[in-house]
Structure 1
Amino acid sequence: MPISRRTVLTAAAGLALPLGAARTRPAVGFTLNAETLDGGEQVTSLTLHAGRLGPLDPAAFRVHATATSPIPLAPGDQIFSEYDLDRPVTAARRARRGNIVLDLSYAEGQLGGGTLGYIVSRGRNVRLNLVYTITHAASNTRFLQGGLVNPEVDAFGYHASASGLKYRLYSPGHARRRPLIVWLHGGGEGASLPDDYYDNETTLRANRGALGFATREAQKIFGGAHVVVPQSTSYWIQDGPRFAPLIREIVEDVARRNDVDRDRIYVAGCSNGGYMSMKMTVTYPRLFAASVPICGVVTALVSDTELAEIRTPSWLVASRDDTTVDPVANTVHAHDLIPRSRMTLYDTVTWNGYRFPGHWSWIYVARNDQNFWQWMARQRR
């Protein structure tokens, strides 16, 4: 869902305005600047398209933010993380083109900056409707909210296959033949079609799984790579055999249109997508050069016979403290059966001093903790 475009009028606290004065007050537009952290996307700063607003004192600005569900919720529905609060301004600074940037307080796990909400009854992340209100104590300027800007996310174009499955695509250019990386998202990033919600965005905003492969570091390792991110219309694990040919359709279309090196097509995914990455190597044993299934589900979904027949080089990843998908019954079990597979089993999911839920072991792949990318890039079909 797009951000609310509603015009937000603000005035200095306690200032009485005569009728019609709002039309003559100076207006300044602003954009919301976001970053996808390991724990999900947050609005980290605001860019005010103005050159002068008096002294750049952070204390002179008040920023209030509300975030609400884009989907009507039934009584009793629970959603994380709507909010209605003030966002502390930590700095006010000049930027290029004479704009003013207000840096906001944010951190992993901090409530009040996120762009996604998780609806428990649907098991889905949705893009929240965000309304930011700015007040400047030293002027009567009115501030008009614009769009949400996240350069990493915005680098992925919007597409849909002939069958209707949506996907995002990052392309490094067309100078020469390039590899292709397929990222398969987790369960919370699919569509919610009973609500007609199919955004083609949460796959990139919920975590850095796909974005990591589009970073300068990863692109250098792969020699430039296309990164494609299909979005499920439900859960991959609900109907893997039906989704497999739809994903392959996207792979074939991207490969044909972008002169992809067909000996260097890789697949990786987390949770639901960890299952689906294994299902893809079972269904299409000669399509991929390497597979990285992360905290994937195999119990009752991929048979022991199928696992034993996988010939795609595979590196399985999970954390021992995963309470969502049992790492022993799934990751360790799959590793024991997939010939010549690798496995990294972490004790916890901790990055930059912050401990995440044990299920979130994809963070290590997104940050290339064990040189996962270098191993993938060396594999050829």
Structure 2
Amino acid sequence: MKQTGLLRRCAALALSAALLAGMTGTALAADRVFQDVAADSPYAAAVETLAQKGVVQGTGGATFAPDTALNAAQLAAFLARIAGAAVNQSVVNTGIADDGWSGAYLSWAVDNGIITLSDTVGQYTSLDAGQVNGILSAFAAYLGIEAPTVTAAGAAVTRGEAVQALAQLAGQSFHHAAGTGYQTVTSAQDWGPAISKVILSLGTDVDPASVTADKFQVLSDRIYDETSHVAARTVTSAYVSDAQGNQAESGSYVTLELKIGPDETAGSPFNYEFATSGHNVYVITLYYISLTQPLTAADGLPLSMDRTSRIGDGGTVTPLADQFQLDSYTAEDGITLKYAWWTPEETAADGSTPLIIWLHGAGEGGENPYVALIGNKVVNLITDGIQQYFGAAGAQVLVPQTPTIWLDKDGTNTYMGPEDTGRSYYTDALMGLIETYVAAHPEVDADRIYIGGCSNGGYMTVNMLMEFPGYFAAAYPVCEAYDVAWITDAKIDAIKDTPIWITAAKTDGTVPLFQGETDPANFSVYHLTLDENGDPIPLDNYSNALYDRLVAAGAADVHYSLFDKVEDTTGLYFQADGVTPYEYMGHWSWLYTLNNQCVDTIGGREVTLFDWLSQQSK
């Protein structure tokens, strides 16, 4: 019994020694972990090194299979582990077999431009020396390190022949941003929202001099209608930044500024559901960002990154819109309206603050007030350019949202026609929301409540004026759709003393003010019909009819900004000739309103719409 116990103790000591040898890097560890790797084989040390780093994990049963041909799936796994990549086993590209281990590794290698699958290079294809060296060269370039080479005794490179080159790769110094996180920045523009920036989180301080726009490749993937719409985005600028995207002298974040414009649909976070809801809706938006060559870390080492994926998506920030608070109101009849609101000061004195109400167009209805805020550039209402007119306290902004359209006759998203009354299904619910909001915010000056909006919202502005005459201090309807059939002398008489500023454009083909026809090849273009003198022929409807009847009724403070067409005024966007300003749909005259570019001469001086609005009080 003693002898047996002694033998057991000796065996335990021998096992401990073997484990210790494995921890300290002797060939004994390789013998123990992979029984088919001889201690005196030319690749034993490389296998040991890679095993310790977790790069090679064997083929099962404590074997490495050094004489087995290396395939693309195995090589992809080795390289991903050398890089320290964040490989998610749930992400396997189409066309790659999801075998439970190699599919995700190979997808990573393909996504990052390291392996290109072809007729001769498949997931389980044995690789020859030329193929392996091409892949190693691409991987080294990806990391910014030196590329080793392999030779093969036979037609295919064996696992044993490859490990020495892999060990050389693993022995070099570099930084790698694994599972790169990113956040997009959505800005409100004249034509709608645009994803204008992407902020990358690299986890390592970056040398600012190494960050240039040409080193980044950006693809947007907009997913809607169960279809993925992938398109390239152009990087116009790149720089080291803070986490909010502000340029910085040092840091681990990099911000990419992207080309945006009225025709850059790949940058839009919206899709317009023309055939169904008639609303703009957010789509699933993903960004696949990769480096065309490594950056340099602050310590001088090369810095690479995993191509971004769904896993790293940190969502979007929307400057200005994020300053609004969101809420909902349910009327006594059960109608619920979502809304956004903003106040310049949390502790303003009672009765000190005017209230600006904006009513959105048809495309911005639904259940997400952000769509109403950035579908048109409504966020401009809280900027200094407009707030400056409303004194030290500024003006609050209220943006209600209808679940369908303001022109809804019965709550079923059905437009009213000339034969209807012109009273919106949402009339009482909207008034209830406004009154409830004002009651909950005693700082609002009830004598300075202003209402306006565009298109459907322009209609609703006129509707609210006529349904609740005397409640609003002033109104500013834009391209309004209140049909002349609904206008009566009594309604005009009830609102003629309310200051009103109307805005529209002659080329509006949605609520036409002049004779013409929509271009059959492009519904956004409206061709005016001209008389014998070459002048457009006015129609007696909508803004024209409202203005003419108010003037005829003796309205003393009514203004009409009627633009010939709607053009870009930023100087950034042009037609094909590169000289003529970009022309928008004629219906989009709200651009002039929200940019405060409507001007009239009042009392001998030029006054902008919001300067005028700020002076109105009951």
TM-score, structure 2 normalization: 0.55
Name the SS for the 1:94 alignment partner.
strand
> In 2, distance between residues paired with 1:28 and 1:155?
28
C-alpha distance after superposition, 1:190-240 (max 9, x if no partner): 12xxxxxx22221112111x2221111211212311111111121111234
> In 2, distance between residues paired with 1:12 and 1:142?
6
Identity %: 28
Please tell me whether the aligned partners of residues 408 and 426 of structure 2 are also in contact (alpha carbons under 8 angstroms).
no
Please tell me whether the aligned partners of residues 184 and 198 of structure 2 are also in contact (alpha carbons under 8 angstroms).
yes
Q: CA RMSD in A?
A: 2.5
Does 2:567 match 1:350?
yes
Name the counterpart of 1:34: 186
Letter in structure 2 aligned against 1:344 = S
Once the 2 structures are TM-superposed, how far is the Cα of residue 25 of structure 1 from its aligned partner?
A: 6.2
Once the 2 structures are TM-superposed, how far is the Cα of residue 27 of structure 1 from its aligned partner?
A: 2.9
Letter in structure 2 aligned against 1:379 = Q
Does 2:439 match 1:256?
yes
Name the counterpart of 1:62: 217
Letter in structure 2 aligned against 1:307 = I
Once the 2 structures are TM-superposed, how far is the Cα of residue 12 of structure 1 from its aligned partner?
A: 2.7
Once the 2 structures are TM-superposed, how far is the Cα of residue 319 of structure 1 from its aligned partner?
A: 0.4
> In 1, distance between residues paired with 2:370 and 2:91?
24
**Residue number among 379, 384, 397 corresponding to 1:216 in the alignment:** 384
Letter in structure 2 aligned against 1:319 = A
Which protein is richer in strand relative to its size?
1
Once the 2 structures are TM-superposed, how far is the Cα of residue 251 of structure 1 from its aligned partner?
A: 1.3
Name the SS for the 2:281 alignment partner.
strand
Compared CA separation, residues 254 and 116, structure 1 to 2 (3 A): same
**Residue number among 176, 183, 200 corresponding to 1:48 in the alignment:** 200
Please tell me whether the aligned partners of residues 25 and 142 of structure 1 are also in contact (alpha carbons under 8 angstroms).
no
Letter in structure 2 aligned against 1:41 = P
> In 1, distance between residues paired with 2:231 and 2:479?
35
Once the 2 structures are TM-superposed, how far is the Cα of residue 300 of structure 1 from its aligned partner?
A: 5.5
Does 2:237 match 1:91?
yes
Please tell me whether the aligned partners of residues 304 and 337 of structure 1 are also in contact (alpha carbons under 8 angstroms).
no
> In 1, distance between residues paired with 2:226 and 2:493?
46
What are the residue-to-residue correspondences of 1:203-352 with 2, within 5 Å? Answer: 203-208=372-377, 210-223=378-391, 224-239=394-409, 240-259=423-442, 260-299=444-483, 302-305=486-489, 306-310=491-495, 311-327=497-513, 328=539, 329-338=541-550, 339-340=555-556, 341-352=558-569
**Residue number among 306, 323, 328 corresponding to 1:155 in the alignment:** 323
Name the SS for the 1:237 alignment partner.
coil
Once the 2 structures are TM-superposed, how far is the Cα of residue 148 of structure 1 from its aligned partner?
A: 1.0
What are the ranges of 5 or more consecutive residues in structure 2 without an aligned counterpart? Answer: 1-89, 93-106, 116-134, 140-165, 167-175, 244-250, 295-303, 410-422, 514-538, 570-580, 600-607
What are the ranges of 5 or more consecutive residues in structure 1 without an aligned counterpart? Answer: 1-5, 19-23, 74-81, 192-197
Please tell me whether the aligned partners of residues 463 and 482 of structure 2 are also in contact (alpha carbons under 8 angstroms).
no
Compared CA separation, residues 322 and 53, structure 1 to 2 (3 A): same
Letter in structure 1 aligned against 2:326 = Y
Name the counterpart of 2:356: 181
Name the counterpart of 1:168: 340
Please tell me whether the aligned partners of residues 478 and 504 of structure 2 are also in contact (alpha carbons under 8 angstroms).
yes
**Residue number among 100, 107, 118 corresponding to 2:261 in the alignment:** 107
Please tell me whether the aligned partners of residues 90 and 105 of structure 1 are also in contact (alpha carbons under 8 angstroms).
yes
Does 2:309 match 1:141?
no
Which protein is richer in helix relative to its size?
2
State the aligned residue count.
Answer: 356
Compared CA separation, residues 52 and 60, structure 1 to 2 (3 A): farther
Name the SS for the 2:268 alignment partner.
coil
> In 2, distance between residues paired with 1:7 and 1:362?
44
TM-score, structure 1 normalization: 0.87
Does 2:613 match 1:376?
yes
Max radius of gyration: which structure?
2
Please tell me whether the aligned partners of residues 234 and 259 of structure 2 are also in contact (alpha carbons under 8 angstroms).
yes
Name the SS for the 2:320 alignment partner.
helix
**Residue number among 268, 279, 290 corresponding to 1:124 in the alignment:** 279
Please tell me whether the aligned partners of residues 39 and 109 of structure 1 are also in contact (alpha carbons under 8 angstroms).
no
> In 2, distance between residues paired with 1:53 and 1:64?
23
Name the SS for the 2:486 alignment partner.
coil
Runs of 4+ in 1 over 4 A off after TM superposition: 6-11, 15-18
Once the 2 structures are TM-superposed, how far is the Cα of residue 335 of structure 1 from its aligned partner?
A: 0.5
Letter in structure 1 aligned against 2:559 = R
Larger RCO (CA under 8 A, 6+ residues apart) = 1
Compared CA separation, residues 189 and 7, structure 1 to 2 (3 A): farther
